[in-house]
Amino acid sequence: MKILLASSNQGKLAEFRQLLAGFDLVPWPSDAPSLPETGAFFQDNALQKAEGAKAWWLEHGTEAVDGVLADDSGLCVDALWGGPGVLSARFAPDLSSYRDKNHRLLALLPEDADRTARFVCVLAFAPMPGRLHGEPFTVSGTVEGTLAFDHRGQGGFGYDPIFIPDGYDQTFGELPSDTKHTLSHRARACAALRARLGGSS
């Protein structure tokens, strides 16, 4: 099955290549427009991106694909009332590096704050007319954990160096990527997607 990945986030793309091995993944072209995400919930934004990418591809696509996949994800920190949540990609826009953004986020938490947090991933899949039947649908995955006291590790991307998944002492930035791919929010959502697509690749 050939799937257009409606994302230009290089960190996500690297993960999808491993998590969706067996599917023929077509990257979002570098000259394609960025996709609006104006919803209040991960699910709304994932569907909005998948539908937007499908419409654009129907007009400008260079090859036939069976469906379009969009990911909306983020880090939800309990002490920040679930933030940055759907705004994770837009947190601290004045800072360019995630090392700096991570330090800023950690500085928002008082020393004695509850440090529980979770990563959430919602995937929206939109079948391409004439190739696959059915309506667009979503699947999701979460991973529970706590925030570290400092930015730790070079692996992963985004908020990985400050997130310690439950059952581990290391952050996603320190753990091998294979470990992240067994328990992450995106891994769980991809497993649900495979099941929903009937395991076909």
Active site residues: 72
Show the site string, 115-134: x = touches ligand IMP by CB under 6 A, - = not.
Answer: ----x---------------
- Whether 85 contacts 152, CB under 8 Å: no
Options 16, 23, 28, 159; binder of ligand IMP; rule CB under 6 A: 159
β-bridge partners, 122:
72, 140
Options 52, 127, 158, 165; binder of ligand IMP; rule CB under 6 A: 158
Q: Interacting stretch for ligand IMP, rule CB under 6 A, among 17-25, 106-114, 132-140, 157-165? A: 157-165
Options 4, 53, 67, 73; binder of ligand IMP; rule CB under 6 A: 73
Separation between Cα atoms, residue 83 and residue 75, nearest integer Å: 7
Q: Does 80 bind ligand IMP (CB under 6 A)?
A: no
CA angle, 145 as apex, 143 and 150 as ends, to 5°? Answer: 130
Options 13, 89, 92, 192; binder of ligand IMP; rule CB under 6 A: 89
SS3 124: strand
**In angstroms, how far is CA 175 from the centroid of its own chain?**
18
Task: Give the CB-nearest residue to ligand IMP.
Answer: 158
Q: Does 72 bind ligand IMP (CB under 6 A)?
A: yes
DSSP string, 50-101: HHHHHHHHHHH-SS--SEEEEEEEEEEEGGGTTEEGGGGGGSSTT--SHHHH
Separation between Cα atoms, residue 2 and residue 22, nearest integer Å: 10
Q: Does 16 bind ligand IMP (CB under 6 A)?
A: no
Find the binding residues for ligand IMP in span 52-71 (CB under 6 A): 71
| Residues with Cβ within 8 Å of residue 32, at least 6 apart in sequence | 8, 56, 60
Q: Interacting stretch for ligand IMP, rule CB under 6 A, among 21-29, 106-114, 129-137, 158-166? A: 158-166
Binding site for ligand IMP (CB under 6 A): 9, 37, 71-75, 88-89, 119, 156-160, 184, 186
